[in-house]
Amino acid sequence: MTDTGTPRRRAAIIGSGNIGTDLMHKLRRSHALDVVAMAGIDPGSDGLARAAALDVAVTAAGVDGLLDMSVFDGVSVIFDATSAPAHHANYARLQSTGRLVIDLTPAAIGPFVVPAVNLAGLTEHRNLNMVTCGGQATIPIVGALSAVTRVHYAEIVASISSRSAGPGTRANIDEFTDTTARAIETVGGAERGKAIIVLNPAEPPMIMRDTVAALVSTTDTSTLTAAVTSMVSAVAQYVPGYRLRQDVLISAVPPRDPRRRLVGGTERELLQVTVFLEVEGAGDYLPAYAGNLDIMTAAAVRVAEVAR
């Protein structure tokens, strides 16, 4: 961690599972944030044990235990790394405190935020939703395309190792697809969005791979490619393992192609842009193949460092 001379803001984490524990390690490297508390519900969890060993205050009494902690008075930002149903209950208890709450579940109480796309316009909100891992990986690409042309339809496929899909992910599959599809439209700027998640049981485990297929109005192909590559570089500033797997593919959609049904057949000239991505985790707490979790925690830290 670099000493900037500015006092770090205190942070707390709700959720002592994989995401919460990985998040704790990233926060300890932050130049702007100091993690001082972790709340869970399992007193035997590895996350609480690791936090206590690092002199982070812990409680196994959930959000109520966090509110009762003496360190809570100094906390200005809270990360919720539990589940969508749990976040609704947690935020009901936290809202009156006025703290910034960053939601890493698909609950979507607050506005969606993808740091490289729309963070600047949301810094005054008190509840910010991190969409999903697939959303954090793919919405920047949709947003980059929307900035230079009309995106009629965008479809994303997020493929992750089955080993990196914990109980929270598996319990929230429906929320994942619904939340990501909505964010493709509201944040990414696509007129229609669709999201698919694949849990791949391959051994050895695969790292996170994402595909974005977008139907866009015809424009200069070099402009489209430059927009995508620039956005990949922007995301990699806070997710170092985020990268293109191959060159951006751009092809014309023929007049009678069935893909035109997805956009109502109104465009006389239409291109399909296909982008293949992969996300390698930093290995802070989880294996490098768990890029799906890494991108969520890294993006959440970036949000908290900027928002107030």
Q: Given the residues 56, 107, 133, 195, select the one marked as catalytic.
A: 133
Q: And the tokens for 255? A: 């007049």
Q: Provide the token pair at 54.
A: 């690092």
- What CA–CA distance (Å, rounded) separates 265 from 25? 49
Q: What share of the chain is helix, strand, coil (3-state, %, to 5)?
A: 40, 25, 35
The CA distance from 239 to 282, in Å, is 8
Yes or no: say if 105 and 82 are a contact pair by the CB < 8 Å rule: yes
User: In sequence order, what are the residues at sequence separation of 6 or more whose Cβ sits closer than 8 angstroms to the Cβ of residue 163?
Assistant: 205, 287, 289, 290
Taking the C-alpha atoms of residue 258 and residue 226, their distance in angstroms, rounded to an integer, is: 28
Binding residue numbers for NAD(+) = 16-19, 164-172, 292
Measure the CA–CA gap between 160 and 281, rounded to whole angstroms: 12
Active site residue 42: no
Token output for 220: 């200069």
| Binding residue ranges | 16-19, 164-172, 292
Position 231: which residue type?
Answer: M
Pairing status of strand 100-103 against strand 75-80: parallel
How many helices (H) and strands (E) in the chain?
10, 12
Known catalytic residues? 133
